[in-house]
Amino acid sequence: MPSPFGLLAELTYACPLHCPYCSNPLDMAAYRDELDTGQWQRVLAEARELGVLQLHLSGGEPLQRRDVVDIVRSAHDLGMYTNLITSALGLSAQRAEQLRAAGLDHVQISLQAHEAGASDRIAGTTSFQRKIAGAHLVKELGWPLTLNVVLHRLNIDGIADVLALAERLGADRIELANTQYYGWARRNRDALLPSREQLDRAEVVVRAARERLAGRMEIIYVLPDYYGQPPKPCMGGWGHRQLTVAPNGDVLPCPAAQELPLPRANVQEHPLSWIWSESPVFQRFRGTDWMGEPCRSCARRDVDFGGCRCQAFLLTGDASRTDPVCTLSPDHELVAEAVRAANSDQPVEAVLTPRPHPRDTASRADD
């Protein structure tokens, strides 16, 4: 069995933003009982023993944890490469200096659009200028800067302006990731899924920018699953190289797996090594023995592993079915229908449901 390479630590689901594409679970109240500092430090030590080298600190907003500096310091002392995934709200000069002294290696800041009006509308709060200030602070302190922009129908037409902003900010890397439809994004899919025409225009812009900025800024562009063929492998294979720890200590093969009807495995009850190697949630879709047709007979079964298990469940109610994104799936019409609607001449009239703030009663996560 391979060792895990990366750990996504979702420190809290508390967040100052209301993004309608958020992939956090719908029932965020179930995650209020957050791991404390000592529990997170134990998780990191066990993860390092398993072979984890990269730690990604996320949420929600990880800066809402008062102990984030202590967590970074512990990971650094264990020899992990640490990456803070943040909205930059809460990244004050003092906090940034503390994180730098603790050994933080990298900062990734989310942007919703290239200018304040659109960005603040999508985020559901006034935040754009603070994000820009955070990006400047990251560069001043000498960190590598990644910008992450989740693309959808409401902002993808501004992709050229987003890239120009990233260039002005001196970003080392930008991730232009089309929305994946889990959590709140799934609820808002009809209003967020772009048209093929929008995607085609965006790809032209990205290709030109990659040529122009080669060697200066890395540009990652990810299509929405609904337009991708063949389907992408689920996290490089279920329980293959990555694991996620939720705020309450649940351990999952991917961030979206909270919604699957699988037995839970929690670090408050089991060592991380047992969870990785023996727990039912990690064993359920490892390898290919679990597959039915058409995946079992497919030449790509060891490449894409039947596609995304979470997407299969959300669209069909059965996580073991072929991802409906695949054209060979008997459920492919579910995806084709959504794509047709996104490309219809009829205007999209779906109402966006913003991600709410979870009521956070844990003082350690309330900065």
Is 295 annotated to bind ligand? no
Q: By C-alpha distance, which of 84, 76, 70 is closest to 40?
A: 70
Is 308 annotated to bind ligand? no
Is 310 annotated to bind ligand? no
Task: Give the C-alpha distances (Å, rounded to integers) separating 352 from 19, 25, 263, 309.
Answer: 10, 16, 32, 25
How far is it, in rounded angstroms, from Cα 54 to Cα 8? 9
* Helix residue ranges, H only, 156-233: 159-169, 183-187, 189-192, 196-213
For residue 109, give the H/E element and its range.
strand 106-111
Whether the Cβ atoms of residue 222 and residue 175 lie closer than 8 Å to each other: yes
Tell me how many helices (H) and strands (E) the chain has. Answer: 14, 9
Task: Give the C-alpha distances (Å, rounded to integers) separating 182 from 191, 232, 250, 311.
Answer: 14, 15, 18, 7
Q: Is 245 helix (H, G, I), strand (E, B) or coil?
A: strand
- List, as residue ranges, the binding site: 15, 19, 22
- List, as residue ranges, the binding site for [4Fe-4S] cluster: 15, 19, 22
